[in-house]
């Protein structure tokens, strides 16, 4: 966020007034995935990405986990821990209660961050590719040659 041409900049914006069915969320875990680099690449042809590019001035997209600070929802109470598919890199955000999932504590004291990795999109993608698509069996030997991204790290 410094130098002559920074990739990101810090901005302060006014939060909207909360409406019925909305929550005020404080994110405390954000995903940082290799795909995010593609989302901000202005040179990348549109047909190479599965999402619209993030335009200059937009909030950087990211999955995240946060704590509900205030609620105008009958479904979600203050203090709840929730997962948001696209929370963005923000300090606070007002969201619809329909756009979040309330998280249950994981057994054995495991961190909620597992919901962003092995129990989230990354883990499901690895599982689908390895077990469903390739139909890998326990007796198979699997070699990962290009598994430098998040999915490869889970599949290994």
How does pLDDT run across 90-146, given as a tens digit for each residue? 999 999 999 999 999 999 999 999 888 888 777 877 888 788 888 888 898 877 666
pLDDT tens, residue by residue, 74-103? 999 999 999 998 898 999 999 999 999 999
State the DSSP H helix or E strand holding residue 89, giving kind and residue range, or none if neither: none
Has residue 39 got a pLDDT over 90?
Answer: no
Q: The pTM is what?
A: 0.78
Whether residues 48 and 99 fall in one domain: yes
112 in a structural domain: no
Whether residues 29 and 101 fall in one domain: yes
User: Quick check: 35 and 92 in contact, CB under 8 A?
Assistant: no
Of the pLDDT bands very low, low, confident and very high (cuts 50, 70, 90), residue 1 is low
Tell me the C-alpha distance between 7 and 9, whole Å. Answer: 7
Domain holding 83: CATH number? 3.90.180.10
110 in a structural domain: no
Whether residues 121 and 97 fall in one domain: no
User: What residue numbers bound the domain in which 133 lies?
Assistant: 117-156
Whether residues 94 and 122 fall in one domain: no
């Amino acid at each position: 966020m410094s130098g002559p041409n920074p990739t990101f900049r810090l901005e302060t914006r006014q939060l909207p007034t909360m409406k019925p069915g909305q929550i005020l969320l404080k994110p405390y875990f954000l995903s940082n995935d290799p795909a995010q680099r593609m989302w901000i690449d202005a040179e990348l042809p549109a047909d190479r990405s599965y999402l619209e590019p993030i335009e200059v001035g937009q909030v950087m997209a990211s999955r995240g986990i946060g704590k509900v600070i205030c609620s105008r929802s009958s479904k979600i109470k203050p203090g709840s821990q929730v997962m948001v598919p696209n929370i963005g890199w923000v300090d606070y955000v007002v969201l619809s209660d329909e756009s979040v999932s309330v998280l249950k504590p994981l057994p054995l004291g495991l961190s909620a961050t597992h919901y962003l990795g092995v129990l989230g999109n990354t883990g499901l993608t690895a599982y689908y590719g390895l077990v469903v698509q390739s139909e890998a069996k326990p007796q198979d030997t699997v070699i990962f040659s290009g598994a430098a991204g998040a999915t490869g790290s889970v599949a290994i």
